[in-house]
Amino acid sequence: MSASAAPLVQHAEAERRNSISIVLKDIVQEYPAPGGGATRVVGGIDLALERPGINMLLGPSGCGKSTILHMMGGVRPIGVKTPTSGSVLIDGEPCDGAHDDSVMVFQRYANRPDLSVFENVAFPFRLKLWRQRLPEGEWRDRVTQILAAVGLADKKDLRPAQLSGGQNQRVALARALVLRPRILLMDEPFGALDAQTREEMQHLLVKLYNDRPCLVVFVTHDVTEALMLGDRVIVLSAQPARIADDFVIGEPRPRSGTWQRSSEAVKLEERILNQLHKVSPGKGSLRVTV
């Protein structure tokens, strides 16, 4: 029975992940300014992300990328109305608080120093929400599978302090993906890693994405990273943030070094850099890795 039911369940799950949308409607965000009044950080953003894919969000430092990402995740800063005006719709429904369609991955991986790698990844299943959804045997299998997928099967009993930065970020990624989210929100996840480890992590992300595509929003400072990973690249302008550019990259992943040096890629890189220089002349911390 289960032999025939399993593909059906998988099919339904894939279907659910395929029909996904995040829509931002005229989003404005203001924060109280130090001297009174308000600073407009995000100045009217309309954006529709309507299918699985990797969407790169690029912009100068402090332009409001994290603010927008947190909005999509329903994570609200304390004491500030988010968004000031406009609306975030997930699957057409207004999103006004934490929701379980999305999971976030941060630059500082927020792994728990007191828990083993296995327990870090299994953490969501210690919460009522997920414990009710999955029987223990099933989530244990899932944790084991994802640990193998991120290459940490042999490290499952170690603690985060015993891992490298890259391995820690793998733990964070595994904890997010073990929930098989429809939306994955990543805030400069590889920003703190050295160039080689960052590249490894990019390959890993592509592999995991191909296993189970979902809607990824990936914030980065790194133009090369945007070109290597993005199905779509959205460039924001400096404060107040608006969409300065928005384009699609058709090249299939993994993208080779040859493609990276192709005239298409070089043109796109120039296009992004021009845009960023236009919005923040001489400012911002952009990075191009070769």
Partner 1 sequence: MADFWNPYAALSPGQRKALGIGAVAALLLLWAGLAASGWVSSNRLPAPWDVAAALSYLTWHEGESLLATATLWSLGRLVVAGVLVVAIGIPIGIAMGAAPRINAALSPLLDPFRSAPVVALLPILVMWLGIGEAMKIAFLFIGAVVYLIPMVRDAIRAVPQSYWIGARDLGATPWECVRKAVLPMAMPRIADALIVAVSVMWTYITVAEYVNAKVGLGQLIQNARRFSAWDQVFAGIIVIIALALATYQLMLFAKRKLYPWETHQ
Ligand X SMILES: Nc1ncnc2c1ncn2[C@@H]1O[C@H](COP(=O)(O)OP(=O)(O)OP(=O)(O)O)[C@@H](O)[C@H]1O
Contacts to ligand X by CB under 6 A: 31, 41, 59, 61-67, 77, 80
Q: How many CA atoms lie within 13 A of 219 on its CB side?
A: 23
Query: Least CB distance from residue 57 to ligand X, whole Å?
Result: 9
Does the footprint of Mg ion cover residue 66 (CB under 5 A)?
yes
Q: Which is nearer to Mg ion, 64 or 124 (by Cβ)?
A: 64
Q: Which is nearer to partner 1, 155 or 253 (by Cβ)?
A: 155
Which structure tokens are listed for 264?
A: 């298409």
- What is the DSSP pairing of strand 38-49 with strand 102-106? unpaired
Does the footprint of Mg ion cover residue 29 (CB under 5 A)?
no
Across 56-76, b (16+ Cβ under 10 Å) vs e yields bbbbbebbbbbbbbbbbbbbe
Query: Least CB distance from residue 189 to Mg ion, whole Å?
Result: 11
Q: Which is nearer to ligand X, 29 or 111 (by Cβ)?
A: 29
Query: Least CB distance from residue 285 to ligand X, whole Å?
Result: 8
- What is the DSSP pairing of strand 85-90 with strand 22-32? antiparallel
Q: From the list ligand X, Mg ion, partner 1, none, which binds 61 (C-beta under 5 to 8 Å, kind-based)?
A: ligand X
Query: Least CB distance from residue 97 to partner 1, whole Å?
Result: 10
Q: Which is nearer to partner 1, 106 or 231 (by Cβ)?
A: 106
Query: Least CB distance from residue 14 to ligand X, whole Å?
Result: 32
- The answer, yes or no, to whether the previous bond of 240 is cis (omega within 30 of 0) is yes
Place of tokens 């299918």: 51
Residues that bind partner 1 (CB under 8 A): 73, 75, 98, 100, 102-104, 106, 108, 110, 112-114, 123-124, 126-130, 159, 161, 175, 179
DSSP H helices, 150-262, are: 165-177, 195-211, 223-229, 257-261
Q: From the list Mg ion, ligand X, partner 1, none, which binds 189 (C-beta under 5 to 8 Å, kind-based)?
A: none
Query: Least CB distance from residue 249 to partner 1, whole Å?
Result: 29
**CA-closest candidate to residue 194, choices 152, 158, 222, 236:** 222
- The answer, yes or no, to whether the previous bond of 83 is cis (omega within 30 of 0) is yes
Size of the site for Mg ion (CB under 5 A): 1
Does the footprint of Mg ion cover residue 67 (CB under 5 A)?
no
Which structure tokens are listed for 6?
A: 């399993």
Q: How many CA atoms lie within 13 A of 39 on its CB side?
A: 13
Q: Which residues bind Mg ion (CB under 5 A)?
A: 66
